[in-house]
Structure 1
Amino acid sequence: MYDFEDSRQGGESGPPLSKPMFALTALEVLRVAVEFPVSVGFDAVVPQRRLGSGHPVLVLPGFYASDSLTGRLRAHLRKLDYRVHGWGLGSNHGLTDEVVQGLPARLDAIHQRYGRPVSVVGWSFGGLLARWLGHVHSDQIDRVITLGSPWRPEGEITRTTALFERAARKYGLSPDARDIVDVLRQPMPVPCTAIYSKTDGIVNWRSCALDPAENHENIAVTSSHIGLVSNPLALAVVADRLAQDDSAGEPFEWGRCLRRSLFGPSPEHLP
């Protein structure tokens, strides 16, 4: 993310976390080349499972990504009967004025359309934007799910930090950028799930994990960073957490997650 260096000094943050091993970074493209077709094949052979019941979901892409790169995740959720929406803002160039102004408007439009709280799923930097929305528009959001999103200040330096700095010079940076980063690093006021991979080749997974709190949970999957929006395990976890029953205090369980992925909701969860 942006190297707001003074935000990593003092306070409650720990020492800076190291970048992932270069070997993991080098293997990112090769790994996602396997993860994507496996996910497509899984959806092709498994019957449609109606988990979503028309619930609205907003999916936010990672840095320098657009809706095209979250297409596999959105297609998977649509097959599960979620009403899934991309962010519609083109490529994600960071905290530009266009993003800072356009993203809340996009959320508001979806919320108005369905008249109910929206689930927000954010990949990488998109997950940081999802956290920000969860703070400033908590009345319009029922939950936030992040995928490989390094929100901790000690994990600010990643394999893409130099790209953030170049993007800020090329596309501009909102004057509210620093305040937004400070806000999104606060404890979440809505239910939040952090999904991450300990073999991530772009960010240190420890920077993505949430602190223990009610309605907050951490789930590790085996995935590349880029593949978190196409990896079949990551997609199964996203769908499971969107379908969870908060009123029942339903913690994550791999067994139930995989049963939902294969067979759909159990009878007691059907409307």
Structure 2
Amino acid sequence: MSSFAIVLEDYRLVPPYADAIASFWKGRFAGGPPAAERPPLQHLLGNASMPFDLARTKAQAASLAATIKGDGRQLLLLPGLLASEHRMEPLRAILEAAGFEAHGWGMGRNFGPRVDSLHQIDRRVDQIRRSNGEPVTLIGWSLGGLFAREYAKFARGKVGGVVTMGTPFSGDPRANHAWRIYQLVSGFPVDRPPFTCRREEKPEVPTVALWSRRDGVILPECARGRAGERDHAIEVDCTHMGFAVAPEGILAVGRALETMRG
């Protein structure tokens, strides 16, 4: 659930979300549930490095693809809150070049959960599986990772594994800098999405959680999870935005996929 996902394709603020930011900062000091621990402000501000991370990835794209060992698996990439498929394109293109069959989720910008979100993902997975019927591995960034974990419980037989990138599936759902924006955009309380959700329950498929001490948006321990909530956790040296666009984040996804392969 990325508060910095409002910095979109051309790194400018989209006007309709200006009110969301104002509400977010005002809400930090408003009444409501007891304040949860959140990442330090300097780490949150570190996410402004996203354009530089993206530039590094574009310059290193060929070597990144050569480093990652693809095996033809079908992958579905799910973006974070307020992000679109465009934000996942650098990762998708490199995974494709590395030898995977990587797909966008086909649902436009992620405006948070809807009653039919899992059913929409199910339709997309069915489209991907038409070629060979094999399970699809889900790679979800932030909120997209929550969707991936819940979908894997919803349709276990169609999922080969789940990789989460800075996804707050463990601990307090308010232990981050994004939950108020999530509630404003989605219209649902952060702890009561419109479909059955058991965040901390591990899906019955291989799961790898990517997390970072420098995340800045999500509290690291919430994205790392505890034993029994995921199979493996891999620390990544990147910001929250970097999971999707920085070389370190992209290489970590490749490592996670290799870990699943055994």
Normalising by the residue count of structure 2, what TM-score does the alignment of the two structures yield?
A: 0.79
Counterpart code for 2:42: A
5 Å-filtered alignment, 1:1-271, equals 17-29=36-48, 31-45=49-63, 48=66, 51-169=69-187, 177=193, 179-182=195-198, 184-213=199-228, 216-244=231-259, 246=261, 250=262
Farther-moved stretch of structure 1 (144-153 vs 211-220): 211-220
Q: Structure 1: how far apart are the matches of 2:221 and 2:255?
A: 23
- Structure 1 residues 195-242: Cα deviation after superposition (integer angstroms, max 9, x where no partner): 011111111011111322497011111111011111212211211222
Farther-moved stretch of structure 1 (71-80 vs 212-221): 212-221
Q: Structure 1: how far apart are the matches of 2:141 and 2:228?
A: 22
- CA offset at residue 245 of structure 1? 6.0
Evaluate the alpha carbon distance shift between residue 224 and residue 189 of structure 1 in structure 2; reply closer, same or farther with a 3 A threshold.
same
Evaluate the alpha carbon distance shift between residue 97 and residue 62 of structure 1 in structure 2; reply closer, same or farther with a 3 A threshold.
same
Counterpart code for 1:40: K
Contact 2:44 2:216 in 1 (8 A): yes
User: Please, what is the CA RMSD of the aligned residues?
Assistant: 2.5
Q: Structure 2: how far apart are the matches of 1:71 and 1:95?
A: 22
- CA offset at residue 76 of structure 1? 1.1
Unmatched runs of 5 consecutive residues or more in structure 2: 2-32
Q: Structure 1: how far apart are the matches of 2:95 and 2:102?
A: 7
Contact 1:194 1:210 in 2 (8 A): yes
- CA offset at residue 126 of structure 1? 0.2
Q: Structure 2: how far apart are the matches of 1:159 and 1:32?
A: 17
Normalising by the residue count of structure 1, what TM-score does the alignment of the two structures yield?
A: 0.76
Contact 2:163 2:208 in 1 (8 A): yes
Evaluate the alpha carbon distance shift between residue 155 and residue 215 of structure 1 in structure 2; reply closer, same or farther with a 3 A threshold.
closer
Q: Structure 2: how far apart are the matches of 1:99 and 1:108?
A: 14
Q: Structure 2: how far apart are the matches of 1:57 and 1:189?
A: 18
Q: Structure 1: how far apart are the matches of 2:81 and 2:219?
A: 16
Q: Structure 2: how far apart are the matches of 1:112 and 1:211?
A: 35
Q: Structure 2: how far apart are the matches of 1:191 and 1:45?
A: 27
Q: Structure 2: how far apart are the matches of 1:229 and 1:47?
A: 15
- CA offset at residue 89 of structure 1? 0.4
Unmatched runs of 5 consecutive residues or more in structure 1: 2-8, 10-14, 251-271
